[in-house]
Chain A
Amino acid sequence: MSKPDLGLVSLAFAVAGTLIVAPTLSVGEISASRGAADWVRQESGPDGAPRSCVTCHGEDPRQPGRHAITGKPIAPLAPSVQPGRFSDPEKVEKWFKRNCTWSWGRECTAQEKGDFLTYLRNL
């Protein structure tokens, strides 16, 4: 190949590569579908038990859930069904801290929180 042709082919690869790879890059981007995937992802709680959001909130956040230990019914998380959800930032932060720790044994990252909120708000 001549140099100019090599240059063009490289550019094509670069552009194609960027267009294909870029969507999979997660840095700084919020994704509702990732939120949906995280919703069912099981990790270990502080006591080693496997848990996910589903454990208390159920598979469909538009349905009521139930606290896994106390059995208390939990109103649906989806704002489309339960108006007022996520309107209080302090409350949102408090429950993220508690529930991520209990389910995944750690705090959720800012991105994970964003993903969850987008997922739930779009339901």
Chain B
Amino acid sequence: MSLPPTVRVWDPAVRLFHWTLVPAFVIAYLSGEEVLDLHVLAGYLIGGLVGFRILWGLIGTRHARFSDFVRSPRTVREYLRSLLSGRPQHYLGHNPAGGAMVVVLLGMLALTTLSGMTLYGAKELAGPMAFLAAYPVFASDWFEGLHELCANFTLALIAAHIAAVLISSLLHGENLVRAMITGTKRSPQHE
């Protein structure tokens, strides 16, 4: 009996989440005070997407769950070493390094969104955090700088993420970008 040529890895929800997040972040990053309404809308969308992903990471399909890909730092190191040694360990879902990136990215996106909503509430007296208007510190320039720092750090992470996906794809000989679109990967070869 032959194995099916492809196997389903990423469910539609994970894929839709991922590819909606990309334009949402781009729009949020590029729009600013000049088109604040658009920026805020994109920010809310990102917040909702991140919220969904966290929930899905707890109750979703096999490879979407955090338990599938969140690994100890030692495992992450081992995986990275295996990449460099030329005999990369293969994981069907997120590899340990990718898993770590997911966690950090979700965290930074959440922080960026939260700091943004705080700023919006305190400075523009708008949005769900408008009650923070009583605390002018959240409207201060340094807090705005904090929001910008979070956004820029997230951008840096995204750059690293893209690089890592490309490197991983090369080293494992599989197209990880296509996998995130179609949801399928080539069946794993028996070791």
A–B contact at 8 Å CB threshold (below): no
Residues of B within 8 A of A (CB): none
